[in-house]
Amino acid sequence: MNKNISSISLAKEYDSKDDLKKYRKEFYEPNSNLIYLDGNSLGKLPIKTIEHLNNVISNQWGDRLIKSWNENWYDLAKRVGGKISKIIGAGEDEVIVADSTSINLYKLVYSALKLNNKKNKIVTDEFNFPSDHYIIEGILNQFTSEYKFEIIKSNDGITIPIENLISKIDNNTSLIVLSHAAFKSCFLYDIEEITNLAHKKGALILWDLSHSVGVVDIELNKSKVDFAIGCTYKYLNGGPGAPAFLYVRKDLLSKIISPIWGWFGDQNPFEFNLNYKPAEGINKFLVGTPPILSLAAIDSSIDLVIEAEISNIRNKSIKLSEFFLQLFFDKLANHNFKLGSPRDYRNRGSHVSIQHKEAYRICKAMMDEKNEIVIIPDFRAPNNIRLGFSPLYNSFEDIWKVVNTIESIIVQKTYLTYENNISGVT
Ligand SMILES: *Cc1c(COP(=O)(O)O)cnc(C)c1O
pLDDT, tens digit (0-9, with 9 covering 90-100), for 26-84: 999 999 999 999 999 999 999 999 999 999 999 999 999 999 999 999 999 999 999 99
Annotated catalytic residue 344: no
- Written as one letter, the residue type at 317 is S
Spatial separation of the C-alpha atoms in residues 149 and 337, rounded to whole Å: 35
Cα of 29 vs its chain's centroid, Å = 22
The H or E element that residue 375 is part of is strand 374-376
Residue 385 and residue 391 in contact, taking contact as beta carbons nearer than 8 Å: no
**Which residues does 340 contact at the CB level (< 8 Å), separation at least 6?**
157, 158, 184, 185, 352, 353, 354, 355, 383, 384
> Of 183, 229, 233, 426, which is best to mutate to test ligand 1, by the most ligand atoms within 8 angstroms of its C-beta?
183
| Shortest-distance atom of ligand 1 to CA 131 | 10
E strand map for 223-340: 227-230, 245-248, 338-339
The most distant pair of C-alpha atoms in the chain lies apart, rounded to whole Å, by 73
- What φ, ψ does residue 344 adopt, rounded to 5°? -85, 120
Annotated catalytic residue 233: yes
Spatial separation of the C-alpha atoms in residues 1 and 3, rounded to whole Å: 6
pLDDT for 291-349, tens place per residue? 999 999 999 999 999 999 999 999 999 999 999 999 999 999 999 999 999 999 999 99
Spatial separation of the C-alpha atoms in residues 402 and 149, rounded to whole Å: 41
At residue 34, the 3 state secondary structure works out as strand
Pocket of ligand 1 (CB under 6 A): 100-102, 129, 131-132, 179, 183, 208, 210-211, 231, 244
Which one of 106, 110, 129, 389 is the catalytic residue? Answer: 129
Spatial separation of the C-alpha atoms in residues 44 and 369, rounded to whole Å: 18
Residue 296 and residue 79 in contact, taking contact as beta carbons nearer than 8 Å: no
Annotated catalytic residue 129: yes
Which one of 284, 386, 389, 401 is the catalytic residue? Answer: 386
**In the sheet where 121-125 sits, what is the strand order?**
95-97, 245-248, 227-230, 204-208, 173-179, 121-125, 148-152
Nearest protein CA to atom 5 of ligand 1, as residue: 101
Which one of 83, 234, 314, 331 is the catalytic residue? Answer: 234
Instruction: Spell out, as residue ranges, where the chain has pLDDT lower than 70.
Output: 1-4, 423, 426
Spatial separation of the C-alpha atoms in residues 94 and 83, rounded to whole Å: 11
Q: Would you state the torsion angle of the CA atoms of residues 188, 191, 194, 195, taken in this order, to the nearest 10 degrees?
A: 160
Please report the pLDDT score of residue 422 as a whole number: 75
Q: Per this entry, what is the length of the chain?
A: 426
Torsion sign across C-alpha atoms 7, 13, 14, 15: positive
| Shortest-distance atom of ligand 1 to CA 231 | 8
| Shortest-distance atom of ligand 1 to CA 41 | 1
Please report the pLDDT score of residue 198 as a whole number: 98
> Of 131, 216, 351, which is best to mutate to test ligand 1, by the most ligand atoms within 8 angstroms of its C-beta?
131
Annotated catalytic residue 208: yes
> Of 231, 232, 245, 246, which is best to mutate to test ligand 1, by the most ligand atoms within 8 angstroms of its C-beta?
231
Q: From the CA of 125, how far away is ligand 1's center (Å)? A: 15
Residue 206 bridge partners (DSSP): 177, 227
Q: From the CA of 38, how far away is ligand 1's center (Å)? A: 14
Q: At what angle do helices 101-115 and 130-142 cross, to 10 degrees?
A: 40
Q: From the CA of 311, how far away is ligand 1's center (Å)? A: 24
Which one of 189, 233, 379, 389 is the catalytic residue? Answer: 233
At residue 264, the 3 state secondary structure works out as helix
Q: Does the reported pTM lie above 0.85?
A: yes
> Percentages helix, strand, coil for the chain, rounded to the nearest 5?
45, 15, 40
Q: From the CA of 3, how far away is ligand 1's center (Å)? A: 41
